[in-house]
Structure 1
Amino acid sequence: MNGNDVDIETLLALSPSADPFRTSGVSQGRDAGWLYGGQLLGQAVAAAGRTVSNKQPHSMHAYFLTPGRFDRSVDYVVEDVRDGRSFANRRVEAFQSTDDPILHASVSFHAPETGASHQRDAPPRVPAPESLDPAHGSTYRSGLESSFDIRRIPADLLSDPDTARRGVWLRATSPTSDDPLFHAAALAYLSDFELFLPALLRHGLLGDGVMATSLDHALWWHVPARVDDWLLYIHESPRTSGSRGLAYGHFYTLDGTLVASSVQEGLMRRREPA
């Protein structure tokens, strides 16, 4: 199966295994034959979650160590770091064909409980997704379009010259599983979608003359959300320096509930002429 034809449920299902701490997943393509980083994030969360009971992921911190290829499957090894009454932690490493990991991630899980609550509001003047035209193609050609309806918000409605803020509505194109772990893993998958784009746009660093790659990624799930409902992803870049850029994002539901937040650092270099 060609990587770009893999739907999100197949991508996150992972292979059955007698050892729950070892599993593998199919791959999904992007430009130049490299894996879309969101695939690794989503599959790592799914692999870790298979080993945890009665808790849901609340945070993930991951490092992209070396590029993965979409023409190879990915093997995941999960380490049980801690199981407590309220929290559990898993370390996940992803491999392709060699003993060197391509991703290292730590995923923390939390048992549901009540407590204080506040949030940052969504930006004003954001049009409803149904009022926007479907987008065709992605800056990163992630393969995400095979499973998600994408509606980009006109840049002038979110204009911020300092951070190059961008926004996009995302929703799975068909009903999906009711499993909360699936939706948490799918949100991790979505969280890499064009997150670093504002850092590149801020300096006009797009096209074949630019090398850009993700270095690390963090995600916090605040409350449960479904990826077959519309989600607004707002992302911006507060700082770039030394060929590195920082970007952060927030996911909101249609009613304005902030459900997740992400942060990513990436490398951005102009290619030297041959």
Structure 2
Amino acid sequence: MSTAADGAGSFLDLLTLEQPEPDLFRGLSHEGAPLRAFGGQVAAHALVAATATVDPDRPVHSLHSYFIRGGDTTRPIDYHVERIRDGKSFTTRRITAVQHDEAIFVLSASFHRHEDSPVDHQRPAPHVPPPADGHPLFDGRAPSAPEQAEAHAPRDDAAPRDDAGPRVGSKKWADERRGAWARRGFEVWAVSPVAPPAATGGEGEPAGAPSGGSQPAPARMRAWLRVTEKLPDDQHTHACALVYMSDLTLSHSIRGPEGGVGQGMQLTSLDHAVWFHRPFRADEWLLFDQESPTASGARGLAIGEFFDAAGTLVATVVQEALVRPARRPVG
């Protein structure tokens, strides 16, 4: 089994699983937060396992998942697939990720054979600069790694660690993480919104701008993402790749205008849901339009939409995260 934890190899290596039994799959995960498995890879692995038990002509159309405990990057994770239903049009699977004899993650996925639709509509894509006019998100000027202070489990002991190397969030730490993430085969370029001609407010407003009331407007973040290597043509692979990338930046929009993680906040993903609307390629540029419509009670909600370069809405993602002040190690 290839060890994705070391960041070597192709992007497809990150999605590779063993199959020791018909409905049992096994894989390793790399870090997201320090010493924690990256939640996007765990979710993608669960979808890989589910997809392997479904007819090829039924692509996934939605998934819903919960992060229960943090994953250990030094040990394999087992993915147990339950075949809930195989109907005429839909197939349903439930996947439980188990490590150290405990469930760490659960995911339900639904697959749908193609049907012609009597309706077809979407909202327009936002006006943003092309990727070439953006800046690399993981470059030390902003939080430089996915989930830099996040641990995918609601544990009281989940906190950024800076006692085993450069301080979490420091420029040195960011530079090291940037190189590690670049080797994993994808690009993320942040862009700012551009107001359409004759537009006032709306898309042209900066994130966190006042909306006319006492509360700040929803925090917003936009980025172009893609896998840098050529992927196979099957839509299953591209769906799994999108699930992986959908967890790279989404919860960062919960930070709000105060700066969030950069001001000592810790984000812990609680759940993750994806709806797939239309075919797409994850190895071509996808615009990820993300915002947090609300945050309260130590939880924040983030919603993201993926558009292809032609402006077609291909997927929607929703995530809730626990938001707490980051605790520093004693001494």
TM-score surpassing 0.5?
yes
Gaps of 5+ in 2: 147-179, 195-203, 209-216
Aligned to 1:131: 133
Deviation per CA, 1:43-74: give whole Å up to 9, x if none.
11110000000211000000000111222221
**Misfit runs of 4+, over 6 Å:** none
The residue type equivalent to 1:215 in the other structure is L
Deviation per CA, 1:164-219: give whole Å up to 9, x if none.
11111011111112221111111111111110111113343214832210000100
Q: 1:25 to 1:85 in 2, by over 3 A?
A: same
The residue type equivalent to 1:246 in the other structure is L
Matched, 1:79 2:82: yes
Aligned to 1:172: 227
Distance 1:75 1:272 in 2: 31
Distance 2:279 2:16 in 1: 19
Distance 2:263 2:318 in 1: 25
The counterpart of 1:31, out of the listed 17, 30, 33, is: 33
The residue type equivalent to 2:298 in the other structure is S
State the SS of the aligned residue for 1:182.
Answer: helix
Q: Is the 8 A contact 1:90 1:107 kept in 2?
A: yes
Identity %: 39
Aligned to 1:47: 49
Q: Is the 8 A contact 1:205 1:270 kept in 2?
A: no
Aligned to 1:59: 62
Distance 2:137 2:325 in 1: 28
Distance 1:230 1:270 in 2: 35
Matched, 1:152 2:190: yes
RMSD over equivalenced CA pairs, Å: 2.0
Aligned to 1:182: 237
Distance 1:228 1:260 in 2: 15
Matched, 1:122 2:169: no
Distance 1:136 1:104 in 2: 29
Deviation per CA, 1:3-48: give whole Å up to 9, x if none.
333532012121143x231011121222311111100111111100
**Structure with greater Cα Rg:** 2
State the SS of the aligned residue for 2:239.
Answer: helix
Distance 1:77 1:101 in 2: 10
Q: 1:221 to 1:140 in 2, by over 3 A?
A: farther
Q: 1:135 to 1:200 in 2, by over 3 A?
A: closer
Distance 1:69 1:110 in 2: 33
Q: Is the 8 A contact 1:139 1:194 kept in 2?
A: no
Q: In the TM superposition, what is the alpha-carbon distance from 1:127 to its structure 2 partner?
A: 0.6
- 1:123-272 matches, within 5 Å, as 123-124=126-127, 126-137=128-139, 139=143, 141-142=145-146, 144-145=181-182, 146-154=184-192, 159-161=206-208, 162-207=217-262, 209-271=264-326
Q: Is the 8 A contact 2:7 2:30 kept in 1?
A: yes
State the SS of the aligned residue for 2:34.
Answer: helix
Distance 1:101 1:11 in 2: 21
The residue type equivalent to 1:51 in the other structure is T
Gaps of 5+ in 1: none
Q: In the TM superposition, what is the alpha-carbon distance from 1:272 to its structure 2 partner?
A: 5.5
The more displaced of 238-247 and 196-205 is 196-205
Under a length normalisation based on structure 1, what TM-score does the superposition of the two structures give?
0.92
The more displaced of 28-37 and 114-123 is 28-37
